[in-house]
């Protein structure tokens, strides 16, 4: 079981954003506790970046409310940004500045120690310090952006696709550093497509689909509560009965006489029951990965339900 | 094969269509640019008054230039900066097709704008006429196409838009410069006088050939550099090829140095980043230097100063807007106010320094010509107010138009034109031009309010509403507090008005001689000047002729209903009374000479008495001069034998009566006050402004370059101010009056008071009647100030005169010529 701090660092209640012709976010309820890594997963256009922009005060919600570090992002956006380390999906930097210059410039706005920590990270990332930002590769820019965001040791890190463009070694080091920060009591909210990385570092995951939260739970629970069932049928025309609560089918794939289901909270009794269904020849259950869960959430269900399990 | 050909055609058309589509923003902005230029020419046109029509053709033709520059910037420079050119180059499109498509899109756009300009010029010909000349319009098209070609060439060559535009500004003038050099050489060789282009065959031909030659070079370079740009990604090495740039980024900052404060860091960042600002500042100071060198205001140089101020404004936020770099600061929660102030610090400092330099330059150059330092200061302030408004408006527009390239091209004409219009409307409403300083605060406040949205790159409708509301509120408050009082008809100070009402004028009005309105007073002056100038000669030629002139004078006084304005002093400064010296004894028997003298004395005494009864202030002033003249006759030693005793005592008693004199003056002032109160003067009354505005002889002349509303309002205001000062002046004794008199003298040029009592100079006071010499300033052409002689030293002298042996009696004035009133 993951031990969670009692303090809430970030909370949203019925948060929604609508644009003309589009409901970008709808009734999003999230809670991020101190000292955890919270990951936002979702397909492209799910609303992850929109949610992050609301939390950092770049966008105003249409409905609902949220708080970050006890502050209201609508009123206290600047104060929030000072206290968090934010790396957007396309970090803006002054192209004409050199790598060391931009750190030196940014250090003016933070307390002592920023520049040293920045230089340390840049050295660790092996980015040439005398090169202008515009002449860096995509990955190098990402490293600089990370270093700039982390150098002031913020209590909350908000990272939008932070490892995009990073080479595998640096990714590994970065993720390990995240864990160290969390161990020191820092909190991380990250949005990513790299599910295997999320699986490694995240304590809690929220899966967004079409602006709604499909699922919010700890990674551990997700692993334990989801199972993939492979049901072989004697007759492809056989219709399987509905699973009774609390079991929840997230995805169903039919391939001839074989049904593959991703099911949550399937009890052993229910599993035995499935084996005794008429027309069922064999049933196999496998553990699922987070990726399976993710795919099931996004493709398997027309509507979303979520459960919050700790 | 056919399919390939069809594909090629399709590709070309689609490419062309895409390039034309990219030009929509600048097409859409052309009407604004046209209006901006129109407003600019309209406002500047006031300065051309009297020397011909304002150059409306510039308003029609300059938008084409703006379009050409903008098209090259958008189609090449902006694509480079947004990296869309790389994507285009990665497509299977031959480089020459891309280059051609961009060129043709730009050329089509230039032609469309050119045709539009012609049509608009025809449509608006009634209001903004120009000489429609085919050669002018064709030349205009050629120039625009040349600028387009040069712009493309520079855009392909240079990495940054900044560098491309800087070089383009130089290259664009090359053909004209070559032509000018040719023209100068042609003249120096004695081949003819300087001729205007393009009508002259030689210089015109050179101009056309220059454009052809440079245009051909531009086409060649355009293709060459375009291919180079599309075939290879620019490398780091190309950055080092910049020795010819007018400004180089300073040497790399050592980050080993200590940390800066946030404000210092932001200022450092602005200075390092904003090269446009530094070039604009340099241009601003260069214009000041040129003005200093030219020793006079030059419209084109002032225009460049305005352009520099506009570029300074646009560049304030342009660097940060470029690729939304300002998000770096927004993401880190940097204070909006700190960011705003750091952007304003350098431009404001430079504008202030510019003002200081302008003051110093103006004092050196104009110090001798302008009457007071305060006037110099006021002129400088008004100029700075214009520059500040151009700067702040450009800044606001540059912030709203988030594309730096489009902003750099479009904002200057719009901002400068708008400022011109603002100046015109302030003038029309009679509001002091310094009110522009308050107006300049409105756009600045708008930029400050928009900082959050701008930094977050979320500028939109809501933000615009907030800005406009704040600016509107500011202007409303400022207008109510500052400008509204100037629009209200000015009333006389209540205490002074009450004192005037208490002083009854009815008795004086009944008894005053009927001197009519001095509309033709100049004729009288001319007559009297003739009399004056010819009197000496006439007296030498024939005393009878002098007598005849005097009779004519008396007839005028007796029978005419015109007020007499007499030059008591000749233009050379010699007083008229020396006529006695010009009637030498050997040319006239002593008895006749004595009789003539006494007749003239009686005439002047009668005139003075009559004038004292008038409630017209100008006649009170005339009476002062008549009495001073009489005093001189009494005091002149060589006149003592000429004076009849009775007449002498009569004159002395009259001159000693200071109380009656003072009462007459104040009655005249009260009359003016009552007439002003009852005279409806509205700033909206447009009928009177073209004529002289007169109140009791105080004339405010026709002001051709003022609008009706402001002229009326200002005249009323000035009359009230003058009246209040004169009322106070009349209450003071001699030693206390100098400050007010000096103030009246200093204000005379500004108030343009025309006071018809002769060319005496604007600060001339008789403290000793024996040594009267007018303070004449050559070339000023100013006429006498009111109140100069009130309770001056001469009145004290008059009281100290002693009567002769017999007692004076208040007898009716005898007129030896038999004429009587």
Alpha carbons B63 and B33: distance in angstroms, whole number: 6
Q: How many CB atoms lie within 10 A of CB B612?
A: 25
Helical (H) or strand (E) element with B67: helix B56-72
What pLDDT is attached to residue B815? 36
Q: Which among B249, B252, B334 has the least Cβ separation from residue A109?
A: B334
Does the CB of B251 have a partner CB in chain A at under 8 Å? no
* Full strand arrangement of the beta sheet holding A187-191: A84-87, A156-160, A187-191, A37-42, A204-209, A212-218, A308-309
Which two tokens mark A281?
């020849």
Vertex A170 angle, CA A165 and A174, to 5°: 100
Exposed e or buried b for every residue in B282-295, given b needs 16+ CB within 10 A?
A: ebbbebbeebbeee
Alpha carbons A283 and B649: distance in angstroms, whole number: 146
Beta strand extents in chain A (DSSP E only): 8-19, 22-33, 37-42, 63-68, 84-87, 156-160, 187-191, 204-209, 212-218, 226-233, 248-255, 258-264, 280-287, 308-309
Nearby residues of B596 by Cβ (< 8 Å), 6 or more positions away: B543, B546, B547, B550, B583, B588
Cβ contact, residue pair A107, B331, below 8 Å: no
Which two tokens mark B463?
């933000």
B298-312, B486-500, B577-591, B765-779: which is most confident = B298-312
Q: Residue B234 — pLDDT band, cuts 50, 70, 90? A: very low
Angle between helices B161-172 and B56-72 (to 10 degrees): 140
Closest residue of chain B to A132, computed from CA coordinates: B236
Is it the case that residue B519 has pLDDT exceeding 60?
A: no
Q: Which ipTM score applies to this complex?
A: 0.78
Cβ A103 vs Cβ A111: under 8 Å? no
Chain B partners within 8 Å of A56 (Cβ): 331
Alpha carbons A62 and A73: distance in angstroms, whole number: 13
Q: Residue B713 — pLDDT band, cuts 50, 70, 90? A: low
Cβ B175 vs Cβ B210: under 8 Å? yes
- Neighbour-count burial of A257, counting CB atoms closer than 10 A to its CB (0-12 exposed, 13-18 middle, 19+ buried): middle
Alpha carbons B392 and B390: distance in angstroms, whole number: 6
What pLDDT is attached to residue A193? 79
* pLDDT, tens only, A185-236: 899 999 987 888 888 889 999 999 899 998 899 988 888 888 888 999 888 8
Strand pairing report for A204-209 and A212-218: antiparallel
Minimum distance, in Å, between the CA of residue A108 and any CA atom of chain B: 5
Chain A partners within 8 Å of B334 (Cβ): 78, 109
Region A44-69: mean pLDDT is: 91
Alpha carbons B749 and B363: distance in angstroms, whole number: 18
Q: How many CB atoms lie within 10 A of CB B421?
A: 17
Q: Which among B269, B330, B331 has the least Cβ separation from residue A105?
A: B269
Alpha carbons B68 and A183: distance in angstroms, whole number: 61
Of chain B, the percentage scoring pLDDT greater than 70 comes to 67
Diameter of chain A measured on Cα atoms: 72
Q: Residue B141 — pLDDT band, cuts 50, 70, 90? A: very high
Region A242-247: mean pLDDT is: 83
Q: Which among A88, A96, A105 has the least Cβ separation from residue B265?
A: A105
Region B424-430: mean pLDDT is: 73
Alpha carbons B427 and B668: distance in angstroms, whole number: 33
Q: How many CB atoms lie within 10 A of CB A235?
A: 10
Does the CB of B127 have a partner CB in chain A at under 8 Å? no
Cβ contact, residue pair B265, A59, below 8 Å: no
Is it the case that residue B749 has pLDDT exceeding 70?
A: no
Q: What is the dihedral of CA B239, B243, B245, B249, to 10 degrees?
A: 60
Alpha carbons A222 and A203: distance in angstroms, whole number: 11
User: How many Å separate Cα B284 from the centre of its chain?
Assistant: 19
Q: Could you give all domains of chain A from N- to C-terminal order, each with its CATH number? A: 8-210 (3.40.50.300), 223-305 (3.30.70)
Region A264-288: mean pLDDT is: 86
Q: Residue B370 — pLDDT band, cuts 50, 70, 90? A: low
What pLDDT is attached to residue B374? 65
Does the CB of B81 have a partner CB in chain A at under 8 Å? no
* pLDDT, tens only, B201-224: 777 888 888 999 999 999 999 999
What pLDDT is attached to residue A239? 81
Region B710-716: mean pLDDT is: 64
Q: Residue B195 — pLDDT band, cuts 50, 70, 90? A: very low
Q: How many CB atoms lie within 10 A of CB A179?
A: 13
For B254, list phi and psi in degrees, rounded to 5.
Answer: -80, 115
More confident residue, B546 or B173: B173
More confident residue, B589 or B173: B173
More confident residue, B622 or A69: A69
What pLDDT is attached to residue B92? 75
* pLDDT, tens only, B433-457: 778 888 888 899 899 999 988 988 8
Q: Residue A39 — pLDDT band, cuts 50, 70, 90? A: very high
Region B634-640: mean pLDDT is: 81
Is it the case that residue A117 has pLDDT exceeding 60?
A: yes
Region B740-769: mean pLDDT is: 63
Mean pLDDT over each residue of chain A, to the nearest integer: 86
Alpha carbons B681 and B487: distance in angstroms, whole number: 12
Among B315, B318, B310, residue whose Cα is nearest residue B287: B310
What pLDDT is attached to residue B77? 86
What pLDDT is attached to residue B583? 46
DSSP state of B76: I
What pLDDT is attached to residue B521? 31
* pLDDT, tens only, B303-355: 788 888 898 898 888 888 877 888 899 989 898 999 999 999 888 888 888 87
Q: How many CB atoms lie within 10 A of CB B459?
A: 19
Of chain B, the percentage scoring pLDDT greater than 90 comes to 12
Region B32-36: mean pLDDT is: 86
Is it the case that residue B115 has pLDDT exceeding 90?
A: yes
Does the CB of A106 have a partner CB in chain B at under 8 Å? yes
Of chain A, the percentage scoring pLDDT greater than 70 comes to 95
Does the CB of A153 have a partner CB in chain B at under 8 Å? no
What pLDDT is attached to residue B423? 83
* pLDDT, tens only, B653-692: 999 999 899 988 998 888 878 777 766 555 454 444 444 4
Is it the case that residue B253 has pLDDT exceeding 70?
A: no
Cβ contact, residue pair B255, A100, below 8 Å: yes
Chain B partners within 8 Å of A97 (Cβ): 272
Q: How many CB atoms lie within 10 A of CB B356?
A: 12
Alpha carbons B681 and A292: distance in angstroms, whole number: 88
For an interface test with A, the pick among B235, B240, B262, B328 (most A C-beta atoms closer than 10 Å) comes out as B328
Does the CB of A59 have a partner CB in chain B at under 8 Å? yes
Cβ contact, residue pair B265, A80, below 8 Å: no
What pLDDT is attached to residue B41? 77
A277-291, B3-17, B36-50, B780-794: which is most confident = A277-291
Is it the case that residue B459 has pLDDT exceeding 90?
A: no
Is it the case that residue B806 has pLDDT exceeding 80?
A: no
What pLDDT is attached to residue B775? 44
Mean pLDDT over each residue of chain B, to the nearest integer: 73
* pLDDT, tens only, B540-559: 434 444 444 544 554 444 43
What stretches of B488-616 show up as alpha helix (H) in DSSP? 494-502, 506-511, 521-541, 543-559, 590-613
Q: How many residues does chain B have?
A: 821
Q: Which among B260, B273, B458 has the least Cβ separation from residue A94?
A: B273
Cβ contact, residue pair B323, A59, below 8 Å: no
Among B591, B186, B621, B273, residue whose Cα is nearest residue A105: B273
DSSP state of A189: E
Cβ B636 vs Cβ B577: under 8 Å? yes
Cβ B144 vs Cβ B70: under 8 Å? no
Which two tokens mark A163?
């490892």
Q: How many residues does chain A have?
A: 310
Minimum distance, in Å, between the CA of residue B411 and any CA atom of chain A: 24
Region B88-106: mean pLDDT is: 86
Lowest mean pLDDT among A124-128, A250-254, B796-800: A250-254
* pLDDT, tens only, B688-711: 444 445 555 565 555 544 555 556
Q: Residue B811 — pLDDT band, cuts 50, 70, 90? A: very low
B176-180, B198-202, B566-570: which is most confident = B176-180
User: How many Å separate Cα B365 from the centre of its chain?
Assistant: 18
B85 three-class SS: helix
Lowest mean pLDDT among B109-113, B143-147, B595-599: B595-599
Is it the case that residue B131 has pLDDT exceeding 60?
A: yes
Q: Tokens 């409307």 sit at which residue?
A: B425
What pLDDT is attached to residue B239? 46
- Neighbour-count burial of B779, counting CB atoms closer than 10 A to its CB (0-12 exposed, 13-18 middle, 19+ buried): exposed
Q: What is the dihedral of CA A34, A36, A40, A41, to 10 degrees?
A: -160
Nearby residues of B456 by Cβ (< 8 Å), 6 or more positions away: A57, A58, A77, B327, B330
Q: Residue B270 — pLDDT band, cuts 50, 70, 90? A: confident
What pLDDT is attached to residue B647? 93
Cβ B144 vs Cβ B217: under 8 Å? no
Among B758, B723, B759, residue whose Cα is nearest residue B744: B723
* pLDDT, tens only, B396-415: 999 988 777 788 888 988 89
Closest residue of chain A to B337, computed from CA coordinates: A78
Region B468-494: mean pLDDT is: 75
Lowest mean pLDDT among A90-99, B6-15, B358-367, B812-821: B812-821
How many Cα atoms sit within 13 Å of B747 on the Cβ side?
Answer: 15
Q: What is the dihedral of CA B797, B799, B801, B802, to 10 degrees?
A: -160
Is it the case that residue A305 has pLDDT exceeding 60?
A: no
What stretches of B239-335 show up as alpha helix (H) in DSSP? 262-273, 275-294, 299-321, 327-331
Does the CB of B264 have a partner CB in chain A at under 8 Å? yes
For B79, list phi and psi in degrees, rounded to 5.
Answer: -65, -35
What pLDDT is attached to residue B669? 86
């Amino acid at each position: 079981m993951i031990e969670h701090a009692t303090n809430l660092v970030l909370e949203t209640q019925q948060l929604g954003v609508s644009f003309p012709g589009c409901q970008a976010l709808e009734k999003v309820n999230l809670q991020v506790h101190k000292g955890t890594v919270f990951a936002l997963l979702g397909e492209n256009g799910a609303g992850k970046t929109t949610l992050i922009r609301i939390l950092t005060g770049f966008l105003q919600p249409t409905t609902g409310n949220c708080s970050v570090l006890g502050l209201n992002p609508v009123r206290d956006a600047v104060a929030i940004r000072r206290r968090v380390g934010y790396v957007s999906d396309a970090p803006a930097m002054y192209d004409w500045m050199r790598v060391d210059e931009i750190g030196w410039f940014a250090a003016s706005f933070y307390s002592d120690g920023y520049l040293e920590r920045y230089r340390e990270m840049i050295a660790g990332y092996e980015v040439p310090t005398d090169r202008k930002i515009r002449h860096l590769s995509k990955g190098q820019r990402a490293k600089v952006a990370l270093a700039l965001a982390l150098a002031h040791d913020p209590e909350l890190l908000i990272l939008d696709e932070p490892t995009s463009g990073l080479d595998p070694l640096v990714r590994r080091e970065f993720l390990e550093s995240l864990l160290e920060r969390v161990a020191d009591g820092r909190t991380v909210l990250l949005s990513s497509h790299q599910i295997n990385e999320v699986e490694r570092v995240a304590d809690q995951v929220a899966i967004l689909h079409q602006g709604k939260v499909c699922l919010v739970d700890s990674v551990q629970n997700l692993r334990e509560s989801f199972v993939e069932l492979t049901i072989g049928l004697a007759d492809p025309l056989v219709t399987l009965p509905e699973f009774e609560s609390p079991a929840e089918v997230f995805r169903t794939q039919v391939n001839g006489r074989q049904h593959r289901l991703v099911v949550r909270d399937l009890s052993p009794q229910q599993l035995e029951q499935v084996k005794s269904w008429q027309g069922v020849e064999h049933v196999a259950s496998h553990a699922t990965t987070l990726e399976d869960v993710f795919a099931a959430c996004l493709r398997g269900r027309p509507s979303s339900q979520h459960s919050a399990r700790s | 094969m056919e399919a390939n050909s069809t594909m090629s055609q399709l590709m070309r058309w689609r490419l062309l269509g895409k390039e034309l589509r990219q030009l929509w923003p600048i097409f859409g902005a052309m009407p604004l640019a046209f209006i901006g230029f129109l407003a600019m020419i309209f406002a500047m046109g006031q300065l051309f008054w009297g020397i011909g029509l304002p150059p409306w053709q510039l308003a029609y033709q300059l938008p084409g230039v703006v379009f050409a520059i903008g098209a090259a910037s958008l189609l090449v420079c902006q694509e480079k900066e947004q990296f869309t050119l790389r994507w285009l180059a990665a497509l299977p499109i031959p480089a020459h097709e891309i280059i051609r498509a961009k060129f043709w899109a730009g050329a089509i756009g230039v032609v469309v704008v050119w045709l539009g300009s012609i049509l608009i010029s025809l449509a608006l010909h009634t209001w903004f006429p120009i000489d429609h000349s085919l050669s002018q319009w064709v030349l205009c098209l050629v120039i625009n196409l040349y600028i387009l070609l040069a712009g493309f060439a520079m855009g392909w060559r240079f990495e940054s838009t900044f560098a491309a535009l800087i070089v383009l500004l130089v290259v664009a003038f090359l053909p004209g410069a070559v032509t000018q050099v040719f023209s100068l050489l042609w003249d120096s060789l004695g081949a003819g006088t300087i001729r205007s282009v393009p009508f002259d065959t030689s210089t015109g031909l050179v101009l056309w050939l220059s454009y052809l030659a440079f245009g051909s070079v531009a086409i060649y370079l355009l293709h060459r550099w375009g291919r180079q740009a599309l075939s290879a990604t620019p490398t780091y090495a190309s950055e080092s090829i910049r020795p010819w740039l007018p400004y180089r980024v300073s040497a790399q900052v050592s980050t080993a140095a200590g940390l800066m404060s946030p404000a210092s860091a932001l200022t450092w960042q602005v200075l390092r980043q904003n090269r446009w600002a530094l070039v604009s500042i340099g241009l601003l100071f260069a214009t000041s230097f040129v003005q200093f060198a030219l020793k006079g205001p030059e419209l084109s140089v002032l225009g460049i100063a305005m352009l520099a101020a506009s570029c300074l404004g646009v560049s304030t936020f342009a660097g940060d807007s470029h690729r939304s770099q300002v998000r770096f600061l927004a993401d880190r929660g940097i204070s909006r106010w700190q960011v705003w102030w750091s952007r304003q610090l350098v431009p404001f400092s430079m504008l202030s320094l510019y003002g200081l330099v302008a003051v110093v330059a103006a004092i050196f150059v104009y110090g001798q010509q302008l009457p007071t330092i305060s006037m110099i200061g006021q002129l400088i302030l008004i100029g700075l107010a214009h520059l500040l408004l151009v700067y702040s408006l450009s800044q606001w527009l540059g912030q709203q138009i988030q594309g730096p390239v489009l902003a750099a091209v479009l904002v200057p004409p719009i901002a400068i034109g708008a400022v011109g219009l603002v100046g015109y409307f302030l003038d029309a409403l009679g509001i002091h031009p310094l009110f522009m300083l308050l107006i300049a605060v409105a756009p600045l406040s708008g930029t400050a309010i928009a900082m959050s949205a701008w930094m977050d790159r979320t500028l939109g409708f809501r933000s615009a509403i907030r800005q406009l509301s704040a600016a509107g509120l500011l202007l409303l408050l400022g207008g109510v507090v500052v400008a509204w009082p100037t629009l209200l008809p000015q009333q006389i100070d209540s205490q002074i008005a009450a004192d005037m009402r208490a002083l009854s004028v009815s008795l004086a009005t009944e008894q005053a001689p009927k001197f009519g309105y001095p509309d033709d007073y100049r004729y009288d002056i001319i007559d009297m000047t003739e009399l004056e100038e010819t009197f000496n000669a006439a007296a030498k030629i024939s005393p009878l002729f002098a007598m005849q002139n005097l009779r004519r004078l008396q007839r005028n006084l007796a029978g005419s209903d015109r007020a007499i304005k007499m030059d008591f002093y000749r233009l050379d400064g010699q007083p008229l009374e020396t006529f006695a010296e010009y009637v030498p004894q050997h040319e006239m028997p002593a008895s006749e000479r004595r009789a003539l003298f006494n007749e003239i004395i009686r005439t002047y005494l009668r005139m003075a008495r009559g004038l004292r009864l008038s409630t017209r202030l100008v006649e009170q002033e005339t009476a002062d001069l008549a009495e001073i003249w009489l005093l001189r006759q009494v005091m002149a030693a060589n006149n003592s034998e000429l004076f009849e005793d009775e007449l002498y005592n009569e004159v002395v008693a009259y001159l000693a009566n200071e109380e009656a004199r003072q009462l007459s003056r104040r009655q005249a002032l009260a009359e003016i006050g009552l007439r002003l109160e009852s005279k409806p003067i509205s700033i909206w009354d447009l009928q009177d402004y073209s004529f002289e505005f007169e109140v009791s002889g105080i004339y405010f002349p026709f002001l051709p370059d003022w609008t009706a509303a402001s002229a009326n309002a200002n005249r009323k205001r000035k009359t009230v101010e003058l009246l209040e000062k004169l009322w106070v002046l009349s209450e003071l004794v001699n030693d206390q009056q100098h400050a007010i008199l000096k103030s009246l003298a200093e204000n005379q040029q500004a108030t343009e008071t025309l006071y018809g009592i002769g060319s005496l100079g604007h600060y001339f006071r008789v403290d000793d009647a024996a040594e009267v010499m007018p303070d004449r300033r050559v070339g000023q052409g100013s006429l006498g100030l009111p109140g100069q002689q009130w309770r001056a030293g001469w009145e004290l002298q008059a009281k100290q005169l002693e009567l002769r042996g017999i007692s004076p009696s208040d007898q009716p004035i005898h007129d030896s010529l038999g004429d009587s009133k």
